Amino acid sequence: MTDATVKTERPGYRFYVLAVLILVYMLNFLDRQIIGILAAPLKEEFQLSDSQFGLLGGIAFASVYSTLAIPLAWLADRFSRVWIMTGALAVWSGFTALCGTATSFTQLFLYRMGVGVGEAGGVAPAYSLIADYFPPHQRARALAGFAFGIPLGTAAGTLVGGLLAAEYGWRTAFVVVGLLGVVLAPLMRLTIRDPKRGATDAPKAVESGAPVDAAPVAARASARVGRTAALIMLGLGLGLLTLAGLNHFVGLAFGDALVLAFGGLLALVIGVSLLIAQVTASAVIPKKSFWLLALGAASSSVCGYGVAGWLPLFFMRSFDLTLKQVSWYYAGIALIGGVLGIWLGGMIADKTARRGKGAYPLVPAIAFLISAPCFILAMNSDWLIAQLIPGGGTQVQALTVAFLIFLIPTGLNLAWLGPITASVQHLVAAPMRSTASALFLLINNLLGIAVGFYYFGAVSDLLQPRFGEESLRWAIYTGMGFYVLAALLLIGASRTLKRDWVD
């Protein structure tokens, strides 16, 4: 019995590992979401429209984050998951710090791509680690606990980033939060061990079926592809630094040449990613549940990521709050609502799933249907106050009511994380879980982050001639339809999941 196997049987160490992974995920989202609270100073510094800022917050990050996740997850299914996550943490944190040195939109765009390169290795391997530290009946709650990193990171990024930007400028905010991850990376490597694959599964989950037998064959057959993927990732990171450096020191205007180079490189990465994932893809793509879960989560993420990224600017425009006030206000909403929603989602799904696997997607489906009207009501708290108090209330009353109502959809729109990610883990056997998670995240993040962040900015610009400063409010209204679509897709998944489940 290996040392790693012994450690996985100790509950104390198991929860220590989960705590460290939550901290890493917190930094993942802190570095990812900090750009939302810095929207106003960045738009002013670089004279950006809402659409341009949507590209900076969406496609710059999501394009490489989503595609590189597959080769990195493939490597995590075959080599040390801890080493991969440690390197990923150092890379994305370093690029976050470099964002504070950007002197042009192009350079900042490239550095944000660099953040995506690093963060591509930070999530799927963690899902796989958690699945090997916690038995099946605890996984939804453990994965929900891991997902605490989302509200913790969003709240920390909003509060720390906003306060630092208000006091010392946006450049300092990027540098400080980036260096935090660089400091944490050694702790991750020195104290976390890789457990045996499938260590907490029932024996038949590891021993049975063609998918598991196919994995070693795939590993041998595609070893060269794995090395190629690692070299591409390294080359992409160095290339981004080189391009950003040229832009900084030489002042090159990349224009169409940069777009073509980026498009060609991205196409190459996608092709290699799909080649690497072909064995795992052959196991999950034929399953209807995979598509319903992935597209359902992606539909919710279009709104979830988009609203989270744009709410700070909405509060400044429509609620007349300063950057410092928004930092405290939105950080409180993200922290309280997010933690409660994620934990309740995982706990309720684990309990209700005893009566059937369909409960895993059904719980978040119901949550999404409640979220949409709550968001709209919270955004119109002044109208609600006017209905309850003759002559209307004060701004403090309206802000208080909005805060309390915002807690509901903020929690509910994150309730899917534990149940859905646990479901995806059970669509394949243990040796394929990192890659299956990466395929799921590819769909979720390409639509959720890239489309979601850009969608609200583009619609805001489109509606600006008619609604002026309130155009962002109306853009967010239109996005609520994605929650309804997500609910319908997950209801469909609740009917097929039992058939596709792998114990």
Residue 8 sits at φ, ψ, to 5 deg, of -65, -20
- Which range among 122-131, 294-303, 351-360 shows the weakest confidence by mean pLDDT? 351-360
Q: How does DSSP classify residue 447?
A: I
pTM: 0.73
Q: Read off the pLDDT of each residue in 433-443 and give the average, rounded to a whole number.
A: 78
* pLDDT tens-digit map of 168-179: 999 999 999 999
**Residue 291: what pLDDT?**
92
* pLDDT tens-digit map of 446-499: 788 778 888 898 899 999 999 988 999 999 999 999 999 999 999 999 999 888
Compute the Cα dihedral for 106, 107, 111, 112 and give only its sign: negative
Asked whether 439 and 280 are in contact (CB, 8 A), the reply is: yes
User: HEC profile for 191-252?
Assistant: HCCCCCCCCCCCHHHHHCCHHHHHHHHHHHHCHHHHHHHHHHHHHHHHHHHHHHHHHHHCCC
- Which range among 257-261, 411-415, 425-429, 473-477 shows the weakest confidence by mean pLDDT? 257-261
Per-residue confidence band for 9, with pLDDT thresholds at 50, 70 and 90: low
Q: Read off the pLDDT of each residue in 180-198 and give the average, rounded to a whole number.
A: 83
Q: How does DSSP classify residue 451?
A: I
Average per-residue pLDDT in the chain?
79
Q: Read off the pLDDT of each residue in 253-275 and give the average, rounded to a whole number.
A: 53
Could you please report the per-residue DSSP string of 252-275?
---HHHHHHHHHHHHHHHHHHHHH
**Across 318-434, where does the E strand assignment appear?**
none
Task: Name residues whose C-beta falls within 8 Å of residue 85's C-beta, 6 or more positions apart in sequence.
Answer: 24, 121, 122, 125, 126, 188
Q: Which three-class secondary structure state does DSSP give residue 354?
A: helix
**Residue 174: what pLDDT?**
92
Cα 96–98–101 angle (5° rounding)? 130
Task: For residues 215 and 8, give the distance between their C-alpha atoms in angstroms, rounded to a whole number.
Answer: 23
**Residue 278: what pLDDT?**
67
Q: Read off the pLDDT of each residue in 5-19 and give the average, rounded to a whole number.
A: 71
Q: Is the pLDDT of residue 206 over 50?
A: no
Task: Name residues whose C-beta falls within 8 Å of residue 409's C-beta, 6 or more positions apart in sequence.
Answer: 337, 370, 371, 372, 374, 375, 378
Q: Give the rounded distance of the alpha carbon of 232 from its chain centre.
A: 23
Please report, rounded to a whole number, the percentage of residues in the chain having pLDDT higher than 70: 80
* pLDDT tens-digit map of 124-141: 788 888 888 888 777 777
Quote the radius of gyration of the chain (alpha carbons, Å): 22
Higher pLDDT, 69 or 255: 69
Could you tell me how many residues make up the chain?
A: 503
Could you please report the per-residue DSSP string of 468-494?
GGGHHHHHHHHHTHHHHHHHHHHHHHH
Q: Is the pLDDT of residue 257 over 60?
A: no
Q: Is the pLDDT of residue 300 over 80?
A: yes
Tokens of 384: 């609600």
Q: Determine what percent of the chain falls in helix, strand and coil, rounding each to the nearest 5.
A: 85, 0, 15
**Residue 273: what pLDDT?**
60
